[in-house]
Amino acid sequence: MSGIEWRPTANWQAMKERAEMQQCIRAFFAKRQVLEVETPILARAGVTDVHLHNVVTRLQGPGMPEPENFYLQTSPEYAMKRLLAAGSGPIFQICKVVRDDEISRRHNPEFSMLEWYRPGFDDNALMAELSSLVQEILGCEPAEYLTYQQAFVQILNIDPLQSDAKSELLGALAASGHANAVSNEDSLDTILQLAMSVLIEPKIGQTRPCFVSHFPASQAALARIVQEDSRVSHRFELFYRGLELANGFWELTDAQQQRGRFLADNLERERLGLLKQPIDERFLAALEHGLPDCSGVAVGLDRLLMLRLGVNDIADILTFPVGRA
């Protein structure tokens, strides 16, 4: 170990900017009477989504009837929805979350998240509020809007919702030098996600933030399906200068549909050779009790701070990234 491993990777200015950004966020929601809440980072269930991976820890200390696995949360979503079902009204949270994911200049397994829920808002109303918050934090222009379909057609001249999209997407990925990444891939969603990451994201939201809405229904496990077009959902993401900043939904409130989606996720996990995940029965019980009509969004605060400071490496705004944890 070198003699500097104990030092933070972020400088003091970055730490001050983080504190100021969080004060700005809290003031933003205080004006709008959105309550700040706190929920556990440990739970008896994680996520079934095949693209998200929980970190698991085992509690066996005094007071535990028997040793039990707990899942470090990838998002406070399920617990916050339990609060909504219990009558909390509009709520937000600034918290740490953990994902067993890649480590890179844009990713750290432990990171800071802002998540909030707005009863009575649809996805359009929530996108407008998120745009206002980002303008306050970054001093940027209002966001522009594209549907998922528009983004692919404009940039690749490929309609991602058509039945023949897979072969066209594979051709576009091969032409851009990414053929090996999908050479043995059968899942259209995995191919779409790679194309979104390497071909679409670098070309949108460069001068102003850009919302992409109406994601394919198969990529929106927690969002409502659009009534007018069952191929797409009320899911959106926000991109700016090459970074994905936020992921939001007009939330699914039907407990039976939600259980079905969790079961389908676990079947896909089996197909891919991944471990099946326990289903969060407390969350489903909250949906059965009644989740109010609402929209919610998760925002990556570390990436927002990277843009605020104009840095390209997440280590520059973290005190101790995983390599120095």
Considering only residues 316 and 2, tell me which one the structure prediction assigns the higher pLDDT. Answer: 316
Per-residue pLDDT for 85 more than 80?
yes
Q: Compute the distance between CA of residue 321 and CA of residue 290 in angstroms, rounded to an integer.
A: 39
Lay out the sheet containing 144-147: strands in order across.
35-36, 91-98, 110-119, 294-300, 243-250, 235-240, 210-213, 144-147
C-alpha atoms less than 13 angstroms from C-alpha of 254 in its C-beta half-sphere? 8
Predicted confidence band of residue 51 (pLDDT cuts 50, 70, 90): confident
Q: Report the largest interatomic distance among the alpha carbons of the chain, rounded to a whole angstrom.
A: 61
Average pLDDT of the chain is: 95
Domains contained in the chain, CATH given: 12-141+279-324 (3.30.930.10)
- In this structure, the dihedral spanned by the alpha carbons of residues 10, 205, 113 and 274, taken in order and rounded to 10 degrees, is -110
- pLDDT 10s digits, 122-145: 999 999 999 999 999 999 999 999
- Supply the DSSP string of 3-23, one letter for each residue: TTTTS-SS-HHHHHHHHHHHH
Nearest alpha-carbon partner for 248 in 105, 93, 77, 133: 77
Q: What is the structure's pLDDT at 1?
A: 64
- Tens of pLDDT along 170-219? 999 989 988 777 777 778 888 999 999 999 999 999 999 999 999 999 99
Report yes or no: 97 and 75 within 8 Å, Cβ to Cβ.
Answer: yes
Q: What is the pLDDT of residue 297?
A: 98
Closest CA to 85 of 257, 281, 284: 284
Type and span of the H or E element at 122: none
Q: What pLDDT, in 10s, does the model give residues 268-304?
A: 999 989 999 999 999 999 999 999 999 999 999 999 9
How large a percentage of the chain has pLDDT more than 90?
A: 87
Average pLDDT over residues 28-52: 96
Q: For the chain, give the percent of residues with pLDDT over 70.
A: 99
Specify the 3-state DSSP secondary structure of 224.
coil
